[in-house]
Amino acid sequence: MAVLESIKDFFHFLDLNDLTYVVLIVMLFILPRILSRFGLPAGLGAFVLGFISANILEIFSDSEVIPVFATLGISSLFLYAGLELDFDELKKNSKPLTQHLIFRGTIIVLITALLKYLTHFNWQISALIALALVTPSTGFILDTLPSTKLNGEQKNWVKNMAIAAEILALLLLLMFQSETPLKLLLSVATIIILLFTLPLIFHWVSRRIAIKSPGADFSFLLLLAVATGTLTKKLGAYYLVGAFLVGFTVNFYEKNISKNPKEEFEKTAKFFASFFMPFYFFYAGLRLDQDVMSLHALLIGLALLVLLVPIRLGTLVLHRKYFMHESLQQSLPIATSLLPTLVFGLVMVDLLKFSGLTHNYVLGALIYYTIFVTLLPSIILKFLLRRQDLVEETFSGINPPDSKL
C-alpha cells in the first residue's frame, strides 16, 4: 500500500502536465510489452493499467487528451481493417466463408432469442450482448497473428474469416441499433450516400492536395475516418462502421481515387493503430468502475466462457470437417485463433451503457468473459500443437461425408 500511495502522490505532484503524459506513454508502450512476455496481450495490459489508474491511483480520469487519442486509436484500427480486405481472396473462398457466416449468424440469433427469453432485456440489448460474446476482434487478431506458429494457409484462413465475421457484425450492429424502421431506413440511406460520396471526396483530395503535399492524402483519410465514424456513432453504431467504411471504400476504388498504392495506406494505418490503440484500451479501463467487477460478474463470466467456447470452437471445426474435409489438426488452431473478442467486447460494453443497461453484473460478466477468451488462444494453442494426435483420436469417430464441395 505504501508503494501505491507513493505512485499516487508522484502523479498528483505532476498534476497532468506534459511530463505526466510522457510517463503515461512510457507506461503504455513498455509495461504491456513486458507483461506480454508472460502471456498477457499488450491490449489487456493497457486495459488493466487504465483500471488501476482510475480505481487505485485515482489519476487520468479527468484527462481531455486520452479520449481524443482513444478515438484516433479505434478509428485507425477499423480504417486498417477496411484497407486490409482482399476482395480477390474473399471472392475465391466465398462459398466456405458464406457457410461460416450463416453458422455464425445463426448462433447470434439463437443467443439473442435465448437471452430475451431468459431475461427481461429487450431484443436490442440481447443482440448487443450476443455480438459481444461471439464476434472476433479482427484488428487485435491480425496484430497478433504473425507471432503465432500457424502455417501460411492457416493464417490466411484466420485473416479472411475474421474480416468476414467483422463485416457481418458491423452490418448487424447497424441494424440492431436502429430502433425503428425509419431509423433503419435513415442508417441505410446514410451508408449508401457515403459509399457514393467518399470516393469522390478522396479522389478530389488525391488529385488537388496530395500532389502538392505528399502524404497529405493519408492525413485526410484518417480525418475522414474519424469524421465518418462520428457520423455513424450518432446513428448508434459507434466509430466502427464509419471508419471501416472509409477503409473499405479506398480499398475498393484505390486504382481510381489515389496514386499511392494501397500497401502504403495499410502500413501507415497499421502504424497509427499500433500507436493509438493502447490509449483506447487504457481509456476503456479508465472508465470502468470497480463495482462492475464483482464476484457475481466473475461467476457469470466464467459460466459464459465454459458454455460458449466449446460452441464457438465446435461449430467452426465441424463446419470445416464436413464441408471442407479438413483435418482437426488444421482446423482447431484456426478456430482457437478466432476466439479473442477484446475490441468488440469492450465496444459493446460501451454501447450497452448508452442503450440504458444499468445492470453492473452483466457489464462485468462481459468484461471478464472478454478478458478470459482473449487470453485463451495463447494458452491452449501450445497444447493443441503438442497434443493434436490426442485430439484427432478423440474426434476420429466423426467422419465427413464422401461428397466434395
325: region left, alpha or beta (phi > 0 left; psi from -120 to 50 alpha): left
Q: 116-139: per-residue pLDDT in tens? A: 988 888 888 999 999 999 999 888
Domain count, the chain: 1
Residue 32 in any domain: the answer is no
Q: Are 160 and 136 in contact (CB under 8 A)?
A: no
Q: Are 80 and 139 in contact (CB under 8 A)?
A: yes
Q: 318-351: per-residue pLDDT in tens? A: 988 888 888 888 888 899 999 999 988 999 998 8
Q: In sequence order, what are the residues at sequence separation of 6 or more whose Cβ sits closer than 8 angstroms to the Cβ of residue 377?
A: 148, 336, 337, 339, 340
In angstroms, the Cα distances linking 263 to 235, 259, 269, 270, 394 are 31, 12, 10, 10, 43
Residue 51 in any domain: the answer is no
Q: What pLDDT sits at residue 400?
A: 47
Cell of 262: 494501397
- Which of 391, 394, 402, 396 has its CA nearest to residue 322? 402
> Residue type at 227?
A
In angstroms, the Cα distances linking 354 to 44, 126, 168, 177, 213 are 23, 14, 22, 11, 40
Output the pTM of the full model. 0.85
Percent of the chain with pLDDT over 90: 23
Residue 125 in any domain: the answer is yes
Residue 156 in any domain: the answer is yes
Confidence band for 404, pLDDT divided at 50, 70 and 90 = very low
> Residue type at 11?
F
- State the average pLDDT over residues 238-256: 80
Q: What pLDDT sits at residue 254?
A: 67
- State the average pLDDT over residues 276-280: 91
Cell of 397: 469417430
Residue 194 in any domain: the answer is yes
SS3 287: coil
Q: 149-172: per-residue pLDDT in tens? A: 788 888 889 999 999 998 899 888
In the predicted structure, residue 381 carries a pLDDT above the cut 50: yes
> Looking at residue 359, which CATH number applies to its domain?
1.20.1530.20
Q: What pLDDT sits at residue 384?
A: 59
- Which of 310, 304, 309, 311 has its CA nearest to residue 369? 304
What domain range includes position 212? 66-283+303-405
